[in-house]
Amino acid sequence: MRHVDLVIIGGGCAGMAAAIEAKHQGIDDILILEKNSQLGGILDQCIHNGFGLTEFKEELTGPEYASRFAKQVKELNIPYLLNTYVMEITKEKHVLFASKDEGVEEIEATAIVMATGCYERNAGAIQLAGSRCAGVITAGAAQRYLNIHGYMCGKNIVILGSGDIGLIMARRLTLEGANVICVCELMPYSNGLNRNIAQCLNDYNIPLYLSTTIKEVIGKKRLEKVILTKVDEKLRPIEGSEIELECDTLILSVGLIPYISLLENIDCPISSTKGAIVNEDMETGIPGIFSCGNCLHVHDVVDFVTDEGRSAGLGASKYIKGLSSKGDYIKVIPSDNVSYVVPQNIHKDTSDDVTLKFRVRTPIKNAVIEIVSGDKVIYRMNKIACIPSEMNLIKISNSKLANLENDICVKVNGR
Amino acid sequence: MFDIVIIGAGITGTLIARELSKYHLKVGVIEKCNDVGNATTNANSAIIHSGYDPVPGTLKAKFNVLGNPMYDQLTKELNVPFYRLGSLTVAIYDEQIPLLKDLAKRSKVNGVPVQLLNSEEVLALEPNINPNVKMALFAPTCGIIDPFNLTVRAMENAIDNGVTLLLSEEVINISKENDIHIIRTKKNRYEAKIVINCAGNYADNIASMIEPIDWSITPRKGEYYVLDHYKAGLVNRTIFPLPSEKGKGILVSVTTSGNYIVGPSSEPVPDKDDVSTDALTLKNVKEQALDLVPSVPFNQVIRTFSGLRPSCSRHDFIIEYAKTDKTFINVAGIESPGIASSPAIAKYVVNELVKPLMELKEKEDFNPNVRKVERLYYAEQNKDYSFINSHENYSEVICSCEKVTLGEIMDQLNRSCPPHSVKGVKRRTRAGFGKCQGGFCQSKIVLLLAKHYGVSPLDIPLDDEGSNILLEKVKD
């Protein structure tokens, strides 16, 4: 069986950043396996701009952003296989893949970085009630039809869910001449970034209905109408609040889920993010298997994905060189109003600073972010507001982590 | 002119067509949808029932018991996944025990092998069943099948043996001129000496075109959950509650693709095309299923759907000549256990109803087999990649969730009963069946279909004609 030091599954920006970082760390025997016909991942269909403000200090489109990394991968002569689908990985880090050009092959890796991205929650997952007609489509699928293939999925459109892709598609479809009737959001607050609400909805007079969901879709062959309903504070439909809206298309932007079937199949420990539980090196519960990007937890800014890819590339390089920390873990626990924190475990003897990434459950104004270990407050910061759609990043220096006796809790409360 | 026209390409229509293709006859199958098996056949529990449940003496009991053992050979010839895993019908409450014992007696009358198991024996077989289980009826001959591919392969085999399939042809009128049936569809006019009515939920409408009838079909809707194939062993076979007059109850079963299916509800509906789902009914299905198997992981639901049983006012199958015309045969009311019964029904219709009317001369060159279906998934199960590595397109994965390759889709497109819609591809290959529900692969399949048929992607339907996915090309 062919051996490769580092196999990276997924050639989006997380996978490419991991590969580039590993190469810089002196790992030469790398193989990126990418299922599509080019490197870049989901960015290829994100033709709007706004990518790369932190990384490149300029606003790029998704394909431009991806191409900068693809160029580096090529310049660094990092090997990659396109049209290649990984069928199975094992705890022993065997990788079985089917490749358009090479057929089915199994290789053995010293370390694996998972960078497989995420998928969209769809009508099946949210158990959307009503008919099974055409005209119900996820925002990402609608985006691919429009931006890659040049086809409009609808003309009179209702959007369910205020996730960022849905908001961006509201603007994109409006610019292409569609009538976006409204965006409905189950929660009493938006799940998209504020700048997207302003630039994609407000600028085009598209109403956003909060605490509203779709009760039923109706249509014989193609969607004809949807029934909207208000929901109460427990998200239950309020009887009598139904409104019927005629439309030909319902776009779903109801969340993204890490795509980690490969890890689930080998019983890798999974967190509440639906991604793997990792340590500060982005190493999962299975030694030598690392995870980063949207398959670890869903990000809202691509630069953070890139950064996380680098951390995984660095972590995998240390593992390959036998330099990983081996000490005890401190657990990182999401506490008051925090839905999750990545990483979930940190080595007490970590040699690097650690960035904690977390989200709040509900919007909190005049927020105080605290990181505590027992009675000891390691970090405290005031923030005007924390919202669930925005990931928070806090860098903790490793000196503060040494000699801690208790697990770390991350809390966010109002002042 | 056709010797025989079959109206309806569901499981009974296609199996009858295949049975007729063994003889020197000109046979046509007229189907109103753009694919075979597009209604009742594709939305059900996918079970080959053992036959303990139907009331002794009914046609349901007779054909179920005759049909079940035919499945081993049939699925081998048609290369369709079929597993005889057995079923458990479970009594959870004390008051259910006498009912279960009655069922055991009924099995004996029907001639179906069963065994009563005590709670320990049940929990040893199925550790996730409600631990309060008192007793269960084990029926080893119960099986699970892919009913849609059974129908596709039956039609494909019939076509390969000379039958004509006419899709997207809705029958609007049947008349008789000089002892010949004139069948008018929305688009064409066909002639046949014999008509076999296999029109499912519309069988009463079709039968009424010949003569007044004293029976009717009222669909009974069944709503289901489909769970992802994330882990083996939730249940290892089909688990039924005790049946009632409404049906066999909410079952929890493994499927031929390793998913789990939970359902169905049972409610009569007036609209013969209403396959919508509703939250309240599904909530009820869920509660009943959790009583049977408390650990069903409903957070793993990837889809909900409903199907319509063609329930007949006679409460049994109708398999007989029209009252006033022996050349018109009704095969109606084929609800559960319809799939299990259909191979036996097909033989009966041909041998007992068609044969007396028409000379049946066997073809010497009838080939009962279809070309083998190859899949990357099967190769992975068997750890043998020789076919995959030696055939073009079989290592290019189109659907990641279900490991479906370009080669598998192209193979289906090049068979004699090919798909014309995204769902046609999905049901044949499983592309789009997984947890992303086609989010990633649907556009690829739309483009493949458009290229194959030489049409615009705008013309590719999701399902039946008129269910187009894309509405406009963007101006360049």
Task: Find the catalytic residue in B24, B49, B181, B420.
Answer: B49
* First and final C-alpha spacing in chain A: 59
Q: Which of residues 104-123 of A touch B (CB under 8 A)?
A: 104, 119-120, 122-123
- Say yes or no for a CB contact (<8 Å) between B443 and A137: no
Residue of A nearest to B279 (CA): A129
Smallest Cα–Cα separation from A40: which of A19, A64, A21, A57? A64
Pick the CATH number of A1-120+256-324 from 3.40.50.1000, 3.50.50.60, 3.90.79.10, 3.30.1330.40: 3.50.50.60
Residue of B nearest to A140 (CA): B439
Shortest CB distance from A119 goes to which of B376, B395, B440?
Answer: B440
- Residue B157 confidence (pLDDT) above 80: yes
- Assigned fold of A122-254: FAD/NAD(P)-binding domain (3.50.50)
- Say yes or no for a CB contact (<8 Å) between B226 and A176: no
**Full set of structural domains in chain B with CATH:** 1-81+145-216+313-370 (3.50.50.60), 82-144+219-308 (3.30.9.10), 376-459 (no CATH)
Does the CB of A176 have a partner CB in chain B at under 8 Å? yes
**Given this model, what pLDDT does residue A404 score?**
86
**Given this model, what pLDDT does residue B232 score?**
86
Residue of A nearest to B464 (CA): A221
- Say yes or no for a CB contact (<8 Å) between B474 and A144: no
The stretch B217-234 carries a mean pLDDT of 93
State chain B's mean pLDDT as an integer.
Answer: 96
- Say yes or no for a CB contact (<8 Å) between A134 and B305: no
Residue of A nearest to B442 (CA): A141
Shortest CB distance from B436 goes to which of A122, A155, A221?
Answer: A122
> How far apart are the C-alpha atoms of B456 and A110, rounded to whole Å?
47
The stretch B220-234 carries a mean pLDDT of 92
- Say yes or no for a CB contact (<8 Å) between B395 and A129: no
**Given this model, what pLDDT does residue A326 score?**
87
Does the CB of A156 have a partner CB in chain B at under 8 Å? no
> How far apart are the C-alpha atoms of A91 and A288, rounded to whole Å?
9
Least Cα separation, residue A319 to chain B (angstroms): 29
Q: Is the ipTM of this complex over 0.90?
A: yes
- Say yes or no for a CB contact (<8 Å) between A132 and B463: yes
pLDDT band at B462 (very low <50, low <70, confident <90, very high): very high
**Given this model, what pLDDT does residue B476 score?**
65
Residue of A nearest to B472 (CA): A152
Angle A230-A231-A232 from CA coordinates, rounded to 5°: 130
10-residue mean pLDDT series, chain A (415 residues): 97 98 98 97 94 94 98 98 98 98 96 98 95 97 97 98 93 96 96 91 97 97 98 96 98 96 96 96 98 97 97 98 92 97 94 94 96 94 94 92 89 95
B414-457 pLDDT, tens digit per residue, is 999 999 999 999 999 999 999 999 999 999 999 999 999 999 99
β pairing state of A103-114 and A208-209: unpaired
Does the CB of A34 have a partner CB in chain B at under 8 Å? no
**Given this model, what pLDDT does residue A193 score?**
87
Q: Which of residues 200-259 of A touch B (CB under 8 A)?
A: 215-216, 218, 220-222, 248-249, 259
Least Cα separation, residue B407 to chain A (angstroms): 10
Residue of A nearest to B462 (CA): A134
- Say yes or no for a CB contact (<8 Å) between B403 and A85: yes
The stretch B310-338 carries a mean pLDDT of 97
Least Cα separation, residue B95 to chain A (angstroms): 35
Residues of chain A in contact with residue B470, where contact means CB-CB under 8 angstroms, are 145, 151-153
Q: Which residue has the higher pLDDT, B245 or B373?
A: B373
For the question of residue B229 being annotated catalytic, the response is: no
Least Cα separation, residue B342 to chain A (angstroms): 27
**What would the 3-class secondary structure string for chain A be?**
CEEEEEEEECCCHHHHHHHHHHHHCCCCCEEEECCCCCCCHHHHHCCCEEECCCCCCCCEEHHHHHHHHHHHHHHCCCCEECCEEEEEECCCCEEEEEECCCEEEEEEEEEEEECCCEEECCCCCCCCCECCCECEEEHHHHHHHHHHHCEECCCEEEEECCCHHHHHHHHHHHHCCCEEEEEECCCCCCCCCHHHHHHHHHHHCCCEECCEEEEEEECCCECCEEEEEEECCCCCECCCCCEEEECCEEEECCCEEECCHHHHCCCCCECCCCCECCCCCCECCCCCEEECHHHCCCCCCHHHHHHHHHHHHHHHHHHHHCCCCCCCEEEEEECCCEEEEECCEEECCCCCCEEEEEEECCCEEEEEEEEEECCEEEEEEEEEEECCCCCEEEEECHHHHCCCCCCEEEEEEEC
Does the CB of A153 have a partner CB in chain B at under 8 Å? yes
Residues of chain B in contact with residue A133, where contact means CB-CB under 8 angstroms, are 462, 467
Residues of chain B in contact with residue A119, where contact means CB-CB under 8 angstroms, are 435-436, 439-440
The stretch B403-411 carries a mean pLDDT of 98
- Say yes or no for a CB contact (<8 Å) between A153 and B277: no
Q: What residues does CATH 3.50.50.60 cover in chain A?
A: 1-120+256-324, 122-254
- Say yes or no for a CB contact (<8 Å) between A153 and B442: no
- Assigned fold of A327-415: Immunoglobulin-like (2.60.40)
- Residue B252 confidence (pLDDT) above 90: yes
Q: What residues does CATH 2.60.40 cover in chain A?
A: 327-415
Least Cα separation, residue B182 to chain A (angstroms): 30
**Given this model, what pLDDT does residue B247 score?**
74
**pTM over cut 0.90:** yes
- Say yes or no for a CB contact (<8 Å) between A129 and B279: yes
- Say yes or no for a CB contact (<8 Å) between B397 and A154: no
- Residue B129 confidence (pLDDT) above 80: yes
Residue of B nearest to A83 (CA): B396
Two tokens, residue B78: 């048609």
Residues of chain A in contact with residue B435, where contact means CB-CB under 8 angstroms, are 119, 125, 261
**Given this model, what pLDDT does residue B246 score?**
72
- Residue B244 confidence (pLDDT) above 80: no
A vs B: CB pairs below 8 A = 143
Least Cα separation, residue B25 to chain A (angstroms): 36
